[in-house]
Structure 1
Amino acid sequence: MLASHGTAKARDCSALFAEGRRPEIINVKLDQRLVPLCYDAFAVLHSGVARTPLYAAERLTREGVSAARGIDRIDAFHDEDALPPDDRALLEDYVRSGFDRGHMAPAGDMPTEAAQAQSFSLANVVPQDRAVNRGLWAAIEESVRRLSTRRGTLFVVTGPVYSGGSVRAINGRVLVPTQLFKALYDPATGEAGAYLVPNADDASWRAVSLDVLRQETGLDVFPTLPAAAKATAMALPEPRVYSRGPADGDGSPHRRRPDADSFEAWAKQELHRALRRLWRDLMRAIF
């Protein structure tokens, strides 16, 4: 177990799933060497074949997103000791791989420091194209957070897709997804749908129904939903790169300034956060 990073525990994770039901595996080829893991704010089904999650499930709420915005991000990727040694990804697998360690349950969704630390487990990570991870995918994650703030509660299931005759592997161990998905369900309206994104530079996204997602992934991500909800994709927000600040007075979110201004603002923000972390660590060392 990962005492220093927070652990995946044997507990009831049903509140993280729509109507308490886990996603169901339809493609029997995926049903091998699977380990369910339950964390404070998300649940994972880990594949020892891929050495990645098959999915990460969350219940995003307005209150949780608000709490998450007040927590500084501290990167602390770590191996997941709750998994069998031969089935887990290792930090060294990603070294010089050319891929980012892409969260499935995003660190930016985590409402506590403990939950954020848990999100850096490699059991919650896939090899992700850097341009996608830092661009389009980050915009999708933020757009989903803002949608959950407007709607109140969303159930979210995120995961990789492995398709085609030959799937790449980094370090000969960890499979590289061909696509990524993020599925949403609004329990208040009954609407559902999913973003589907190629794991490649210059990727575009498309909105798909849960029926189409099932064909692409071999997963029924929200098995209790009626057929009509699975057949039609809800209107998903266009992914946009936002600042982390609050909305403008008229309710519309701030947009980041492009190019040099954006980089300067980002650099100042990161420097401020680093100084805050140093001050906090110094105070902890003294007291």
Structure 2
Amino acid sequence: MRPEGVQVHGDDGPPVLLLPGGAATCDGFFPGLVEGLVADPGARVIVHDRRGTGSSSEPGTLADAPDHLHTLVAALGTGPVVAVGQSLGGAVAALWAARYPQDLAGLVLLDMTPVNDAEICRQVERRTAVMARISAVPLLGPALIGGTLRLAGLQMKRGLRPDCAAAVDRTLEMDVDQLVRATAGLTELARQWRDGALPQIPAAVVTADRKADDPIRQAHARIARDLGTTPVSWPRATHSVHLDHPDEVLDAVRRVIAGQPVR
């Protein structure tokens, strides 16, 4: 019996599990990816909000996400999956692969939150906590957060195709408190991270178009090295690379499914 809140698109073929960023709901987060993967290579695409995120009514923490996903894959009986994770979803995918390597047939990490760098993770937790404190100020706080997000959304949507622009709007309709809970414990998990923990499986580590000496890009390079690959960066790619380079992301996932290198 399929667990509650799980959608599986496609009838057969290699299983792919999607992990959105932040605490966002998975449905619609990766525009075109589900349909593209079902069409070619005929994948089964698992859409699910892990505990504590999206529309899930079950409480959950970042630390217990690998255990939850391990149980989910076992309940679905899909065997090892290719996990596609953006931002915090990429960190979850890496943590899952380190704890349960037998669950993963491949990894696609899209500008993942660097769970291998405690200082960067501390900054992420601090920023979300500041957002929560501002949001808690009666009247003024929600208006300030909402205005800031709308402005960011306008900038992000420039030049995007319509379905990707719509995904920006859905993503920015965030529950700040839920986001804080979803990121809680990130710094401690990063402190516990050990290089060399990841399995040697087909993988793509996509990093935004940053300078070579950027700490996030360097952290991504270390993750890629652990996976036996090299990081990929496309011109003008942002943190939301799944939205500004959706076709390249689709191609990258297809290549990882096929065990081919991603460029």
Relative to the length of structure 2, the TM-score reads 0.26
- Which structure is higher in strand share? 1
- Which structure is higher in helix share? 2
Relative contact order (alpha carbons < 8 A, sep ≥ 6): 1 or 2 greater? 2
